[in-house]
Every structure is written in C-alpha cells, then in structure tokens.
Amino acid sequence: SQLFKKDNLFHGHVLVPGAGSCYDAMAMCKVAKSVTALDISPTAVERALGIARRDSTCRADLEAQKLRILEGDFFAHRPVQTY
C-alpha cells in the first residue's frame, strides 16, 4: 500500500508485463499518467478486460486510453512512448 502513495511512485507511463488479471495495473492507474498491461495469454487479457469493464473507474480509464490491456510478448513489445 505504501507504493501507491503519490509521493512514492513516478507519475509517468507504466508498463505491467505479465499482467494476468490486471489488478496491479488498475491500481497504478490511480497515480500514473497511463498504464499499459501486457500479457501473452489471450485468456488472461480477456479476463482482465472483463474485470476492468465491471469497475466504473477502470472502464473510464479504458475508454480514455489511460489503461490499455494488450495481448503480446514482452520481449517483442515496441511501445509508442517510453515507460
């Protein structure tokens, strides 16, 4: 819980590789400019999208593209911005 206090976390763009159900990424959205959650498993991505869409704040973050949940290989990922 100390990690997510505004004084302790960089307020930039965050990459969460191996995001799984995306709970970490959703929590980081509260303090970061944007969060990209990346997982190689299509099942994990579908589950994460479902979880995020059920939460009104996360749904708004998805719509504003503040939270992006992507399927992909971390080692092949080519971001459009730096993290």
From first to last of the 83 residues of the chain, give the pLDDT tens digit: 455 555 555 668 899 999 999 999 999 888 888 999 999 999 999 999 999 999 999 999 999 999 999 999 999 988 877 77
**What is the per-residue pLDDT for 11?**
65
**What is the per-residue pLDDT for 45?**
96
Candidates 43, 52, 50, 51; CA nearest to 71 is 43
Chain centre to alpha carbon of residue 33: 11
Residue 68 has a CB neighbour count (10 Å cut-off) of: 14
**What is the per-residue pLDDT for 7?**
57
| E strand residue ranges, the chain | 13-17, 34-39, 67-71
